Amino acid sequence: MATGDVLFLNLCDWAEGVTRQQYDNLRAILCRTTDIELPCLRRRGERLEKLTDLKPRLIDCCINGCIAYAGDFETLDACPTPCREARWRFKGGRRVPRQSFIYIPLTTRLLLQYRSSRRAHILQTYCRPFFDQPIDQMPAEIPDWWGAKRYRELRRQGLFSEPTDIALQLMLDGVNLLNRSTHSTTPVLCVNYNLPPAVRYQKHNILLSLVIPGPGKYGNLDSFLHPLVGELKQLGDGVDAYDAYRKQAFRLRAWPVVVTGEPT
């Protein structure tokens, strides 16, 4: 990857919370002092997608949030629940979905993290001491999930045989967009347990997979989670990856070990 591309990715990470004016000022400074030209905000997403190969997917869903048109519902033209709302509307002679949500693939983001030497080192260093402990020996103190009984049960089942294996927490909980609004949405988040507890819940380390759009509480949750569950099945079997820290190829595996959220 070219030096300019690396700088661009680092700056995008740094510039997450800056204003448009601050970003434009940074572009002007770099243009005057270096040969690197950052894209405008409008084209930043396009360049990020090209460099990372991270391609969000649009998935249709019921206008009332009953189902997502995925899995068993993928080919339907109307909601199968009593609401019976149509999937499509017509615009300029074309049919377009009445409501969709964005799904951000998980596998690509985990692969990208292992392509960073620094992040790959962190991901397999924090949990490594737990792999060195005998499976049948419980620690006197349990500092984290990695030291608990469930981790040892999964080890006996053949999971988490390598420090590169990733443990995930899935979180979902409905939130109102405005304090006085009845329109609620449901973010679905992934937390990487291979990161130390002090940093794993920091905003830039939480992986947003999708937001169920509402307007009310979702109906068929399984249909909204269908693309994520499909990815997790593949990650459980393992996908080809490259470890930039050890400078070698390996099989990346990941499993959800804790699920938290509101009752369905």
For the segment 90-106, what is each residue's pLDDT rounded down to a tens digit?
988 899 999 999 999 99
**How far is 15 from 216, CA to CA, in rounded Å?**
33
pLDDT value, residue 4: 46
The reply to whether 21 and 126 lie within a common domain is no
Between 110 and 263, name the one with better pLDDT.
Answer: 110
Q: Which band of pLDDT confidence, cut at 50, 70 and 90, is reported for residue 41?
A: low
The reply to whether 188 and 227 lie within a common domain is yes
Q: What is the pTM of this model?
A: 0.80
- Closest Cα to residue 120, out of 164, 161, 162, 160? 164
Which pLDDT tens digit goes with each residue over 156-187?
Answer: 999 999 999 999 999 987 666 555 566 678 89
CA-based Rg of the chain, rounded to a whole angstrom? 21
> Number of structural domains, the chain?
2
**How far is 101 from 210, CA to CA, in rounded Å?**
7
The reply to whether 177 and 133 lie within a common domain is yes
- What's the average model confidence in pLDDT over 59-66? 94
The reply to whether 95 and 28 lie within a common domain is no
pLDDT value, residue 131: 82
Domain range spanning residue 160?
A: 56-261
pLDDT value, residue 138: 66
For residue 46, the cross-strand partners are: none
At residue 47, does pLDDT exceed 70? no
The reply to whether 88 and 197 lie within a common domain is yes
The reply to whether 45 and 74 lie within a common domain is no
Q: Which of 52, 69, 85 is the last residue of a domain?
A: 52
